[in-house]
Homo-oligomer: A and B are copies of this chain.
Amino acid sequence: MPNAASLDLLTHLRELLGEAHVLTEGDLSAYEQDWRKRTRGKALAVVRPSKTQEVAEVVKACAKAGVSIVPQGGNTGLVVGGIPDDTGTQVLLSLQRMNAVRAVDTDNLTLTVEAGCVLQNLQQAAEQAGFLFPLSLGAEGSCTIGGNLATNAGGTQVLRYGNARELCLGLEVVTAQGEVMHSLSGLRKDNTGYDLRNLMIGSEGTLGIITAATMKLYPMPAVSLTAWAAVPSVACAVKLLGLAHQHLGAGLTGFEMMGQFALHLVDKHYPHLRVPLWQDTPYCVLLENSDSESEAHARERFEHLLGLAFEDGCVSDAVVAESLSQARNLWHIRESITLAQAEEGLNIKHDISVPISSIPNFVEATDALLMREIPGIRLVNFGHLGDGNLHYNVQAPEHCDTKAFLRDNEDRVNTWVYQSVKRFGGSISAEHGVGSMKVDSLPDYKDPVALALMQHIKRALDPQGLLNPGRVVR
């Protein structure tokens, strides 16, 4: 039951936004429950401002009332960073109504959008202008560009185009004091002081609220071809990656590795997808080659590369998709691994990275450790090898009670995997962020001086601690 001060705040918020955009009743699960349905929070209110100035007014009102704010985009985050806690005292600030494409500048190769624009709509706006916006990930039909930036989203095109961070040239941000920082420049070079853009990107709404962004556009490739290769080992996959960098140059836009068991699950649960080449090889690789010339040229480059890789022994078999539908199917197989895992039962997910050169040893050592500690454990290893980012997931042994397995093993499996990541100089969150889920693990795995600097910055920019408290840094 809200207290008197909270009721005053609600009245004030209703004056600012109108009754219809301050939600306190009815089914608010779309805002209060996290994407993976692991946690359910309870907001004092869900507020839905429609413009930057309204966001600023909401922040000022909350700051005055000492009420904390959880910003939210499409609520597709995987680390419980965008829903309120369960106290019923936080304001959930949804950016979904701020979804306009403000400007497309084709000479500058930029597009300026509001934070609540759904990623797929942004991709389509770029395409309509004849250009590519390369950020692409599973949740693109629901996630918003503001959330992508707040969490520095990755996805499948990072190898060539970088993370969300590298695709952004400017931001408009509402600070913890309710001031608006206008830095929506479309400049590729600007050395007039500290890099506030990158500080805000990846800060998960704890330092400021991103309300709009200027993003980079790229020329649309003339053609993208997809190949699928069987590789005899992880080390061979790394070698193939090196060859692909050398011979495809910037044409190499995708390089995904998938372990045999991961592909077995897709084959088992989605047999119509007809997974190629997986049965006789420990790993397969999906490669994408985007070409500014022609399909014939792209195909010739792929065949040249794969010829060299055969000779070298780092590829044992390969196919190049003959049609767009074949190419889509190969990507679809890759993207179905997570769903196939879910079909198979509960599992423990990781989103880790290590230097690419360490991946073969990391996989070997971690596989051996887990199989020794938990006989029968099944490893679903796949991910963006070109970025050093693996979704190194762990499935319970066959025919076991998966709920009990998770209860008894999740923490220790996480610890084993994270310790191994640390030993190889890696990160326990490559692309999903920290949220509430990993905030208490950071002190064990992150440089203590870096962590102390983060705390200083949080206190400097949000001294009241009202922006998404308890996420990223305590």
A124 within 8 A of B: no
A242 to B219, CA, bound (A): 9
> Contact mask A133-174 → B, CB, 8 Å, 1/0?
000000000000000000110100010101101100000000
Q: Which single member of B194, B353, B355 contacts A207 (CB below 8 Å)?
A: B194
A108 & B192 in contact (Cβ 8 Å cutoff)? no
Residues from chain B with a CB closer than 8 A to the CB of A160 are 250
A181 CA / B456 CA spacing, docked (Å)? 14
Closest to A460 in B: B460
Do the beta carbons of B389 and A188 come within 8 Å of each other? yes
Residues of A that sit less than 8 Å from B by CB: 105-110, 151-152, 154, 158, 160, 162-163, 165-166, 175, 179-183, 185-196, 198-199, 201-203, 207, 218-219, 221, 238, 242, 245-251, 291-293, 301, 353-358, 384, 387-389, 425-434, 438, 442, 445-447, 449-454, 456-461, 472-473
Contact A427 B356 (CB under 8 A): no
For A387, list chain B residues within 8 Å (CB).
188-189
On whether the beta carbons of B187 and A430 are closer than 8 Å, the reply is yes
- Check B246–A188 contact: CB distance below 8 A: no
Minimum CB–CB distance for A81 against chain B, Å = 10
User: In the complex, what residues of B have CB within 8 A of residue A451's CB?
Assistant: 193
8 nearest A-B pairs in the assembled complex, by CB-CB distance: A250-B250, A249-B292, A460-B460, A107-B357, A198-B198, A190-B427, A189-B430, A181-B449
Q: How far is the CA of A187 from the CA of B202 in the complex (A)?
A: 15
Q: Verify B158–A108 contact, CB threshold 8 A.
A: no
Complex CA–CA separation, A280 to B203 (angstroms): 53
Complex CA–CA separation, A454 to B425 (angstroms): 31
A384 / chain B contacts, CB cutoff of 8 Å: 189
Q: B192 contacts A203, CB within 8 Å?
A: no
Q: A110-B355, A181-B453, A247-B292 are in contact. List 17 more A-B contacts (CB 8 A).
A: A107-B356, A108-B355, A108-B388, A158-B188, A175-B453, A180-B449, A181-B450, A182-B449, A185-B355, A186-B425, A191-B427, A192-B434, A192-B446, A194-B454, A199-B457, A249-B251, A459-B460
Instruction: Give the residue name and chain of the B residue nearest to A356 (CB).
Output: B108
The interface residues of chain B lying within 8 Å CB-to-CB of A453 are: 175, 181, 194, 196, 461
Q: Are A195 and B189 closer than 8 Å at their CB atoms?
A: no
Q: Kindly identify which residue among B187, B430, B442 contacts A355, using a CB–CB cutoff of 8 Å.
A: B187
22 A–B contacts, CB within 8 A, in A order: A166-B166, A181-B447, A181-B453, A185-B355, A189-B387, A189-B388, A189-B389, A190-B430, A191-B427, A192-B428, A192-B438, A193-B450, A193-B454, A194-B454, A195-B195, A196-B450, A198-B199, A218-B245, A219-B249, A453-B461, A456-B461, A459-B460
- Kindly list chain B residues whose C-beta atoms are within 8 Å of the C-beta of A301: 293
* Complex-state Cα separation, A207 to B449, whole angstroms: 13
Contact (A195, B199) CB under 8 Å given A182-B447, A292-B247:
yes
Tell me the smallest distance from the CB of A17 to a CB of chain B, in Å: 23
A199 to B446, CA, bound (A): 17
Shortest Cβ distance from residue A94 to the other chain B in the assembled complex, whole angstroms: 22
Q: Decide if B355 touches A427 in the complex (CB within 8 Å).
A: no
**A199 CB contacts on chain B under 8 angstroms:** 194-195, 198-199, 457
**Nearest chain B residue, comparing its CB with the CB of A290:** B249
- Residues of chain B contacted by A353 (CB below 8 angstroms): 187-190
**B203 and A189 form a contact (CB under 8 A):** no
Interface residue from B192, B434, B438, B442 paired with A427 (Cβ < 8 Å): B192
Cα distance, A247 to B449, chains bound together (Å) = 46
Contact of A430 among B158, B191, B242, B292 (CB under 8 A): B191
- Contact at B196–A202, with CB atoms within 8 Å? no
Which residue of B107, B179, B186, B191 is within 8 Å of A449 (Cβ)? B179
Q: In the complex, A247 Cα to B222 Cα: how many Å?
A: 9
